[in-house]
Amino acid sequence: MKKIATLLLAAGLVFGAATGASAIDFKAKGQWMMNFDYGQNGGFTGGNGVTGFNGTNRGRNQGEDEFEAKQRIRLQLDAVASEALSGTVFFEMGDTTWGNNNSGGALGADGRIVEVKNAYIDWIVPQTDLKIRMGIQGIALPSFTTGSNVFADDVAGITASYQFNENVGMTALWARPYNDNYVNANDHGGNRTNYMDNVDMFALLVPLTFDGVKVTPWVSYAAIGPNAFRNSNNNYFGNFVGASSVYPAAGMVALGGARHKDGTASTKAMGTYGNAVWAGLTGEVTAFDPFRFAWDFNYGSVSYADSRANRAGWLGSLLAEYKLDWATPGLYGWYASGDDGNPSNGSERLPSLSTSSTDNGFSDFAFSGGKGLSRESLVSYDMSGTWGIGVRLKDMSFIENLKHTVRLNVFGGTNSTTMTRYLANHNAAYTTFTTAGPNAGIAGSGPLYMTTNDTAMEIGMSNEYKMYDNFSVFLDASYISLWLDKSRSVWGNSRMNGRSDQERDPWDVNVRFVYSF
């Protein structure tokens, strides 16, 4: 009997050990965000009865009312088997506009609003330090100043990272933003469903870390299928590109391809892949603490069989700041190449793939500020075709758990006025090139196409009160003052072609309640 008991005990220990070896540690974290937002003049014009954001159909704030109440829930679940193996699924519920049926905020609140934001596995190659991440994940190309103006978004792909020593590392990645979305039974005289409709992106990053200095050179390449952005009617569709239909210029249009610089559609048959190449050098110097200096330089080009759809340009930015006990004052500036006056030689602005997840460090209203559910990107999705200088006082605090950031930016356009004059006189779709800018026209312009005659000033203040360890209240206020050229000599010979005389400055006030765990 004792022998039987001993055997049973031994078997229990064996099975117990096996169970312990395969145990999974589940970790959860997430965020609740409630957002209340009031703003006006998001379309930059008061003409035709449009006095606020509602009905503007421009930029990321399409069709919004002057007052909006929204919410969003994010829940991340990590299944950790060991330091070498884990899996992550990241759910997002929202964005939900209160009262809106399509987003699940109307009476009854039973909309289908749950989406998978990320879903990936992390693992380490045995006996090495090579880390692999596979699946839908957030990827952003390097930046130490503004956030990436080339690519920052959720995308399906594989990243591999290796740290050679304390000074040198390397990350390689392959991502597939688009594939199998083209359906046209009549293409090339037969059924060519999903024919050459993929976009594949590759990148290599080499982060270098030394005492007081960080530098990351990087290079990226994307192959763009000729049917990647065609719909079933064999027409290009800009609204498909980007994170959702509210980012009409965030993706393919910013790559060129579908349209020429003058806004006309490309009609030349492109049976070969387009080629996009980017390179950058980013870094920061903290060796002179409390001073910090940072910079980004990006160059990109896209080439197609139709050379009028090509695009090539650059963007550089600089930041200098000094850390005090109560705040961090900073000076910064940027300059990006702009379109010249020749409509037939392609665009001279920096191409981008997507900047939907960019949290712009210089501007959170005019450009992609990453303020959660509040209004942003009123001037452009990225900084291509603009210049600017600014000053900010970051993380200013005089009371415990309460901090403020104030900024003042003056910026303008680098695009030729000759280009707009050509558009107004030769393009039948000239109305999209007025104050609003070409939503599906000039490659990647975003809501406002700024010329060398256009200037604007942005004033913003952000406040954060940490009420509890996991609960914060934010109050943001932003205002843009516009000095835009509205002359017929630039925008056309008729009043219909010219910019609206009723142009109004956009502003916004936002309150957010954020619970994170």
Of 266 and 330, the structure prediction assigns the larger pLDDT to 330
Of 57 and 340, the structure prediction assigns the larger pLDDT to 340
360 SS3 class? coil
Of 33, 6, 10, nearest to 516 by C-alpha is 33
Q: Which of 156-160, 179-183, 278-282 has the lowest mean pLDDT?
A: 179-183
Whole-angstrom distance, CA of residue 310 vs CA of residue 129: 41
Q: How confident is the model at residue 61 (pLDDT cuts 50, 70, 90)?
A: low
> Which pLDDT score, from 0 to 100, does residue 191 have?
64
Tokens of 417: 């006025």
The stretch 54-79 carries a mean pLDDT of 76
Judged against a pLDDT cut of 60, whether residue 428 lies above it is answered with no
> Which pLDDT score, from 0 to 100, does residue 244 have?
25
Whole-angstrom distance, CA of residue 301 vs CA of residue 130: 31
Q: Phi and psi for 137 in degrees, rounded to 5?
A: -145, 165
Of 196, 180, 199, nearest to 188 by C-alpha is 196
> Which pLDDT score, from 0 to 100, does residue 420 have?
74
- Give the whole-number percent of the chain exceeding pLDDT 90: 52
> Which pLDDT score, from 0 to 100, does residue 504 have?
76
- Tell whether 12 is covered by a domain: no
Query: pLDDT by residue (tens digit) across 456-487?
Result: 999 999 999 999 999 999 999 999 998 888 77
Of 115 and 499, the structure prediction assigns the larger pLDDT to 115
Domain containing 262 — which CATH number?
2.40.160.100
CB 313 within 8 A of CB 348: yes
Q: How confident is the model at residue 440 (pLDDT cuts 50, 70, 90)?
A: very low
CB 499 within 8 A of CB 453: no
CB 73 within 8 A of CB 92: yes
> Which pLDDT score, from 0 to 100, does residue 11 have?
45
Judged against a pLDDT cut of 70, whether residue 515 lies above it is answered with yes
Residue type, 121: I
- Tell whether 16 is covered by a domain: no
The stretch 218-235 carries a mean pLDDT of 79
Q: How confident is the model at residue 129 (pLDDT cuts 50, 70, 90)?
A: very high
Domain total for the chain?
1
Q: How confident is the model at residue 51 (pLDDT cuts 50, 70, 90)?
A: very low
Judged against a pLDDT cut of 60, whether residue 517 lies above it is answered with yes
- Tell whether 17 is covered by a domain: no
- Tell whether 96 is covered by a domain: yes
Whole-angstrom distance, CA of residue 146 vs CA of residue 514: 24
Q: What is the mean pLDDT of the chain?
A: 80
496 SS3 class? coil
Query: pLDDT by residue (tens digit) across 73-126?
Result: 999 999 999 999 999 999 999 889 999 888 888 988 888 789 999 999 999 999
- Tell whether 19 is covered by a domain: no
Of 40, 42, 45, 39, nearest to 434 by C-alpha is 45
- Tell whether 407 is covered by a domain: yes
Tokens of 268: 């030349």
Whole-angstrom distance, CA of residue 378 vs CA of residue 482: 12
The stretch 35-52 carries a mean pLDDT of 61
Residue type, 109: A
> Which pLDDT score, from 0 to 100, does residue 217 have?
98
Q: Phi and psi for 411 in degrees, rounded to 5?
A: -145, 165
Instruction: Give the pairing of strands 507-516 and 199-205.
Output: unpaired
The Cβ-side half-sphere exposure at 252, using a 13 Å CA radius, reads 30
- Tell whether 2 is covered by a domain: no
> Which pLDDT score, from 0 to 100, does residue 62 have?
56
Q: Where are the beta strands (DSSP E) in 125-210?
A: 131-140, 152-163, 169-178, 199-205, 208-210
Judged against a pLDDT cut of 70, whether residue 215 lies above it is answered with yes
Judged against a pLDDT cut of 50, whether residue 436 lies above it is answered with no
> Which pLDDT score, from 0 to 100, does residue 342 have?
83
- Tell whether 211 is covered by a domain: yes
Kindly tell me the burial class for residue 479, based on how many C-beta atoms sit within 10 Å of its own C-beta (0-12, 13-18, 19 or more): middle
Tokens 């905020």 locate to 105
Give the range of the structural domain holding residue 169, as residue numbers without chain letter.
24-516
> Which pLDDT score, from 0 to 100, does residue 229 have?
73
Of 153, 156, 121, nearest to 139 by C-alpha is 153
Helices (H), 404-478: 417-426
Of 140 and 66, the structure prediction assigns the larger pLDDT to 140
Tokens of 431: 């109305």
> Which pLDDT score, from 0 to 100, does residue 253 have?
40
Tokens of 22: 């395969």
> Which pLDDT score, from 0 to 100, does residue 379 have?
86
> Which pLDDT score, from 0 to 100, does residue 418 have?
83
Query: pLDDT by residue (tens digit) across 314-359?
Result: 999 999 999 999 999 999 999 999 988 887 788 899 998 888 889 9
What are the angstrom distances between the C-alpha of 27 and each of 21, 30, 191, 384? 18, 10, 47, 40
282 torsion bin: left (phi>0), alpha (psi -120 to 50), beta (else): beta
Question: Of 61-65, 384-388, 441-445, 493-497, where does the model show the most confidence?
Answer: 384-388
> Which pLDDT score, from 0 to 100, does residue 226 have?
82
Residue type, 498: G
Tokens of 184: 């046209």
Name beta bridge partners: 302.
Answer: 276, 311
Instruction: Give the pairing of strands 114-124 and 291-303.
Output: unpaired
Whole-angstrom distance, CA of residue 392 vs CA of residue 295: 16
Whole-angstrom distance, CA of residue 207 vs CA of residue 142: 9
The stretch 173-181 carries a mean pLDDT of 92
- Whether residue 506 has a cis bond before it, omega within 30° of 0: no
Q: How confident is the model at residue 272 (pLDDT cuts 50, 70, 90)?
A: confident
